[in-house]
Amino acid sequence: MFKLYIANLQDGVHTQEFTISPAELHLQDEELFGQDLQIRLEIEKVGRNIFITARLNAPLSLICDRCAEPYTWVLDEAYRMLFTSDPEMANDEDESTFLIQDTADEIDLTDPLRETALLAVPVKRLCRQECLGLCSRCGANLNAKPCSCKTEQTDPRWEKLKSLLNQ
Ligand SMILES: [Zn+2]
Ligand SMILES: [Zn+2]
């Protein structure tokens, strides 16, 4: 669980930074989240309202869709939330607004931060934009070096031989 202590929070702007383990955001079962997450909170308290912008940073180990090699991708995502004890400010339709008790001395950021982290993971995963992927014939990783299939295909002598065979 990742909770922010707010009992002594003064009106105004505050910044807090944390380093937490994936388990604290209940991400321990997500293989991609193997390393600690950096969390930076910009907190603005205005009366009964606490605006929080959370910035998450963490290196993830992803597998490239094209070449199937593991690579490191850095998650860097911000999410803005409002925690309010003012029912007029609370809006059921806004997923980033949370109603809290006037007497609350801490707020639980686990779920919103967990969601933010999971939604930030790219669906399409490429080790680099120009990744050449694997050869569809021999399965060689073409980022390392061109495989012999490619040479054969582009070798003009082969093209000639092939056309002879096809006659
Ligand atoms: Zn790749
Ligand atoms: Zn090949």
CA of 40 to the centre of ligand 2 (A): 47
The verdict on 126 and 140 lying in the same domain is no
The verdict on 55 and 99 lying in the same domain is yes
Handedness of CA 39, 42, 45, 46 (dihedral sign): negative
Q: Can you tell me the mean pLDDT for 37-54?
A: 97
Higher-pLDDT residue of 136, 39: 39
Please report which ligand is nearest the Cα atom of 133: 1
Please report where in the chains the tokens 């490239």 appear, as a residue. 64
Please report which ligand is nearest the Cα atom of 64: 1
pLDDT at 91: 76
The verdict on 61 and 97 lying in the same domain is yes
Q: How confident is the model at residue 160 (pLDDT cuts 50, 70, 90)?
A: low
Please report which ligand is nearest the Cα atom of 146: 2
- What is each CA distance from 59 to 33, 156, 157, in whole angstroms? 8, 46, 48
Q: Which domain holds residue 121?
A: 3-131
CA of 62 to the centre of ligand 1 (A): 10
Q: How many distinct structural domains can be found in the chain?
A: 2
The verdict on 52 and 26 lying in the same domain is yes
pLDDT at 30: 84
- By C-alpha distance, which of 100, 19, 122, 102 is closest to 52? 100
Using one digit for the tens of pLDDT, what is the confidence trace for 63-76? 999 999 999 999 99
Q: How confident is the model at residue 94 (pLDDT cuts 50, 70, 90)?
A: confident
The verdict on 148 and 96 lying in the same domain is no
The verdict on 83 and 96 lying in the same domain is yes
CA of 144 to the centre of ligand 2 (A): 12
Beta strand segments in 47-121, E? 49-63, 70-84, 97-99, 106-108
